[in-house]
Amino acid sequence: MKKCRWYFSPSPQGDKFAYFDEGHVHVYDMASGQSRNITKDVPTSFVDKEDDHNVVNPPIRPIGWAKDGQSPCFTTTGTSGEFPSPRGPRSNLTVNGKKDGIRYRRYFVLDPEERGIDLSGAVYIDVLAERTKKSGIARLDGGKPGATLLFWMTRCIQRC
């Protein structure tokens, strides 16, 4: 690549990295030198419309990579999902974000030695209700669609 303004962390194996260009997320394979737009057919925006910095169309940053290094995981307004690259269908893992006004915001790293998000097990995500500002934690189980809300706090005590 000759120029890249927005890049994200490399895959757990260190052979790929994701970057943002013209409103889409791309994955660059360092061995082959090939790049692939992984969000061109995704029916949502990856532009952070709530970012108030003096920047045109800043990206919503990914929450990490799946453990296999093939799938960057993103949270967009109201949804969290896995968007595999370079193969396989994308999926919305949380399902109800837009409908219920829930933001799935951050992935909890429970093991500091962990390299990548293990989607085959339990994944814990910080959540925020857009209307009430209640916050809590949800769990995704084994990469199956649908988040289980574990608890709500009546007000957001973290940086919201």
**pLDDT at site 7:** 80
CB atoms within 10 A of CB 65: 25
**pLDDT at site 40:** 84
> Could you list the mean pLDDT of each consecutive 10-residue stretch along the chain, which spans 160 residues?
77 90 88 89 77 81 82 65 51 77 81 84 86 88 84 67
Q: Which residue reads 């890049």 in tokens?
A: 7
Residue 124 to residue 141: CA distance in whole angstroms:
9
**pLDDT at site 87:** 46
Cβ–Cβ under 8 Å, residues 127 and 139? no
**pLDDT at site 32:** 94
Domains of the chain: 6-153 (2.120.10.60)
Residue 9 to residue 51: CA distance in whole angstroms:
20
Q: Which residue reads 């988040």 in tokens?
A: 147
What letter does residue 137 receive in the DSSP assignment?
A: E
